[in-house]
Amino acid sequence: MITNYINARIIDKNSNYLGCVTVNDKIIVYAGPESDCPYKEPDNTVDVKGYALMPSFIDMHCHLRDPGYPEKETLETGMRAALAGGYTTLCAMANTRPVCATPDAVKSNTERAEKMQMCRLIQCAAAGYDLHDETPTDYAALSKVTRIISNDGVTIFSDEFMSNLLIASTDYGFIISTHCQPERHIVARDIALLKKLGGNLHIGHISRSETAQMVREAKAQGLSLTCEITPHHLFAHDLDYKVNPPIRTEADVCALIAAIKDGTADCLSTDHAPHTPEDKEKGLAGISNIEHAMQIYLKVFFDNNISLKRFSEMTSYTPARLLRMNAGLIKCGYLADIVIADTECKGFIEKDKMISRSHNTPFDGREVRGKVLRTICGGKVKYDNGLLG
């Protein structure tokens, strides 16, 4: 099945031009000027009407609460919300009930997701049983079924445990996604261990100016590490709403934006963490934001004169590279994981219209930018708001 997407504003890390994209089943087979497209008689033609056509988004960090917390989220509800937000690949953290700590637990979730045929799921595995930094999980076996090992939600305080985890990440080739609280102390410790031992370190949800500077200096010294920034740590400051790490000061927000501009920050990840109203009243930390993440990021990027190419690099290209996926660019031979979006319209967050099972957000009524029009995974339309023919 060959589909031509014509009149498309093609945007990725390297490109921003008006052209045509051709998809044959799951793969992009052409991207370039419409006049040069060799597929003159496709099975389908979609007029993109000048809207942006980008690689769909890859979330390196989200919580789908499945198994164990269906009142908060399930694989199905979380993936429906993700598709509405332009995401087709989700890295779901392991703090489920029971904790995803074994190859069988990881495979159970990935196989269920495959049967649903919605998003691609990378189910992360715990670094320690019950998310404790005492007894390590079987890294050799887990590395065969997942790319990410993480105790996210719980900080690894043990220097010995973290040292062994870094060594194992080199031995078995997985990424360590960290949860750092207190942030400055743990990030400094992890960078020091990385310098000594090596490893594949990805620092989750950085929120402080000092943390961004630590990462900047570590990279300047030649260390190989990555980090991510969430929507809420860019969209708010001095806000009394419980998330981990906390929403910081205006100076911290400015420092995170600077880290995006100068390349210190690598990825934009949602840390989508749904909770019931009752749990939020009890003080549990988390925000449901995967379906609004693009709109928040576009608002922040536009207000700070950051390009859509940089946005695509951080939401698609770099995560794809880290996950060893043949995705993240609008390029011949790459997966046809695509999002079509109006990147210029203004809108508002309306929590009562959220698709996620949980609507925990402090941003109800806030103005945002852009709107996802269509989300395509493996060449198949998974979300369509009806505006495209």
Q: What are the tens digits of pLDDT across the range 230-265?
A: 999 999 999 999 999 999 999 999 999 999 999 999
The distance of Cα 98 from the centroid of its chain, to the nearest Å, equals 23
Which letter does DSSP use for residue 130 in this model? G
pLDDT confidence tier of residue 211, bands split at 50, 70 and 90: very high
pLDDT above 70: residue 370: yes
- Residue 386, burial from CB neighbour count under 10 angstroms (0-12, 13-18, 19+): exposed
CA distance 75 to 59: 14
- % the chain with pLDDT above 70: 99
Indicate which residues carry an active-site annotation. Answer: 271
* Peptide bond preceding 245 in cis form (omega within 30 of 0): yes
For position 12, what pLDDT does the model report?
98
* Fold assignment, 56-322: TIM Barrel (3.20.20)
Does residue 389 carry a pLDDT above 60?
no
Instruction: Provide the percentage of residues in the chain whose pLDDT is more than 90.
Output: 99
Q: State the helix-helix crossing angle for 75-84 and 103-116, rounded to 10 degrees.
A: 60
- Pairing of the two strands 52-55 and 338-348: antiparallel
What is the SS3 assignment for 286?
coil
Burial class of residue 286, CB neighbours in 10 A (0-12, 13-18, 19+): buried
3-state secondary structure of 315: helix
Confidence of residue 324 (pLDDT cuts 50, 70, 90): very high
Amino acid at 335: L
- C-alpha 161/C-alpha 135 separation (Å) is 9
Give CA–CA dist 44/313, Å, rounded.
29
pLDDT at 386 over 70: no
Hey, is 293 helix, strand or coil? helix
**Average pLDDT rounded to a whole number, residues 285-304:** 98
Average predicted confidence (pLDDT) for the chain: 97
| Residue 387 pLDDT exceeds 80 | no
CA distance 127 to 161: 9
Confidence of residue 388 (pLDDT cuts 50, 70, 90): very low
Instruction: Quickly state the pLDDT bin for 342 (edges 50, 70, 90).
Output: very high
CA distance 205 to 228: 5
At 358 the pLDDT is: 97
Which tokens in the block code for residue 81?
Answer: 């919300």
Q: Is the pLDDT of residue 299 over 80?
A: yes
pLDDT exceeds cutoff 50 at 20: yes
How far is the C-alpha of 194 from the C-alpha of 196, rounded, in Å?
5
Q: What is the DSSP string of 318-355?
A: HHHHHTT-S-SS--TTSB--EEEEEEEEEEE--GGG--
What is the C-alpha to C-alpha distance for residues 12 and 335, in angstroms, rounded to an integer? Answer: 13
pLDDT(187) > 60: yes
pLDDT category at 332 given cuts 50, 70, 90 is very high
Tell me phi and psi for residue 161, to 5 degrees.
-60, -45
- Whether residue 267 contacts residue 227, with contact meaning beta carbons closer than 8 Å, is answered with yes
Q: Tell me, what's the pLDDT at 385?
A: 86
Summarised one tens digit per residue, pLDDT across range 63-112 is 999 999 999 999 999 999 999 999 999 999 999 999 999 999 999 999 99
